[in-house]
Protein backbone atom coordinates (compact mmCIF):
# COMPACT_ATOMS: atom_id res chain seq x y z
CA UNK A 1 0.00 0.00 0.00
CA UNK A 2 2.67 2.53 1.00
CA UNK A 3 4.78 3.20 -2.06
CA UNK A 4 5.55 6.93 -2.29
CA UNK A 5 7.44 9.03 0.23
CA UNK A 6 4.31 11.09 0.95
CA UNK A 7 2.27 7.93 1.55
CA UNK A 8 4.92 6.47 3.83
CA UNK A 9 5.17 9.78 5.71
CA UNK A 10 1.39 9.96 6.19
CA UNK A 11 0.99 6.41 7.50
CA UNK A 12 4.00 6.85 9.82
CA UNK A 13 2.76 10.15 11.26
CA UNK A 14 1.28 10.69 14.70
CA UNK A 15 -1.81 12.24 13.15
CA UNK A 16 -2.45 9.10 11.07
CA UNK A 17 -2.20 7.00 14.23
CA UNK A 18 -4.81 9.21 15.93
CA UNK A 19 -7.09 9.06 12.88
CA UNK A 20 -6.76 5.28 12.71
CA UNK A 21 -7.68 5.00 16.39
CA UNK A 22 -10.84 7.06 15.82
CA UNK A 23 -11.77 4.91 12.82
CA UNK A 24 -11.14 1.69 14.76
CA UNK A 25 -13.28 3.01 17.63
CA UNK A 26 -16.07 3.71 15.13
CA UNK A 27 -15.64 0.19 13.73
CA UNK A 28 -16.17 -1.32 17.19
CA UNK A 29 -19.20 0.89 17.92
CA UNK A 30 -22.52 -0.51 16.69
CA UNK A 31 -23.91 3.05 16.40
CA UNK A 32 -22.02 3.49 13.11
CA UNK A 33 -22.43 1.75 9.76
CA UNK A 34 -18.89 0.62 9.04
CA UNK A 35 -19.49 -2.15 6.51
CA UNK A 36 -16.79 -2.81 3.92
CA UNK A 37 -17.27 -1.15 0.53
CA UNK A 38 -16.81 -2.44 -3.00
CA UNK A 39 -13.45 -1.78 -4.65
CA UNK A 40 -12.26 -2.61 -8.13
CA UNK A 41 -8.76 -3.29 -6.78
CA UNK A 42 -8.86 -7.08 -6.77
CA UNK A 43 -5.07 -7.33 -6.49
CA UNK A 44 -4.95 -5.79 -3.04
CA UNK A 45 -8.46 -6.91 -1.99
CA UNK A 46 -9.21 -10.30 -3.61
CA UNK A 47 -12.82 -10.29 -2.39
CA UNK A 48 -13.32 -6.77 -3.84
CA UNK A 49 -14.25 -5.39 -0.42
CA UNK A 50 -12.17 -2.62 1.11
CA UNK A 51 -12.39 -2.41 4.90
CA UNK A 52 -13.83 0.77 6.43
CA UNK A 53 -10.55 1.86 8.02
CA UNK A 54 -8.46 1.22 4.89
CA UNK A 55 -10.93 3.13 2.73
CA UNK A 56 -10.86 6.28 4.83
CA UNK A 57 -7.13 6.17 5.59
CA UNK A 58 -6.47 5.86 1.86
CA UNK A 59 -8.78 8.79 1.11
CA UNK A 60 -7.07 11.03 3.66
CA UNK A 61 -3.67 10.00 2.33
CA UNK A 62 -4.61 10.88 -1.24
CA UNK A 63 -6.22 14.21 -0.26
CA UNK A 64 -3.66 15.92 2.01
CA UNK A 65 -5.46 19.27 2.04
CA UNK A 66 -8.55 17.84 3.77
CA UNK A 67 -9.02 18.90 7.40
CA UNK A 68 -8.85 15.57 9.24
CA UNK A 69 -10.94 16.64 12.22
CA UNK A 70 -13.67 18.02 9.98
CA UNK A 71 -13.60 14.86 7.82
CA UNK A 72 -13.96 12.58 10.85
CA UNK A 73 -16.78 14.69 12.30
CA UNK A 74 -18.69 14.52 9.00
CA UNK A 75 -17.97 10.81 8.67
CA UNK A 76 -19.49 10.20 12.09
CA UNK A 77 -22.62 12.12 11.08
CA UNK A 78 -22.94 10.30 7.77
CA UNK A 79 -22.41 6.78 9.14
CA UNK A 80 -24.51 7.16 12.29
CA UNK A 81 -27.24 4.50 12.41
CA UNK A 82 -30.56 6.18 13.04
Tell me the mean pLDDT per 10 residues along the chain, length 82.
Answer: 70 94 97 96 95 96 94 97 91
Residue 2 has a pLDDT of 45
pTM: 0.87
Residue 17 has a pLDDT of 96
Domain borders along the chain are: 5-79
One DSSP character per residue, 23-72 reads HHHHHH-TTB----EE-S-TTT-TTSEE-HHHHHHHHHHH-TTS-HHHHH
Q: What is the pLDDT of residues 22-33, one digit of tens each?
A: 999 999 999 999
Residue 3 has a pLDDT of 63
Contact 35, 52 (CB under 8 A): yes
Report the alpha-carbon distance of residue 82 to residue 68 in Å, rounded.
Answer: 24
66 φ, ψ to 5°? Answer: -70, 135
Contacts of 33 (CB under 8 A, 6+ apart): 79, 80, 81
Amino acid sequence: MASTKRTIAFYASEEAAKIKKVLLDMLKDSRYNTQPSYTANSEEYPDNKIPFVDKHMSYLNSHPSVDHDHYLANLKLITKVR
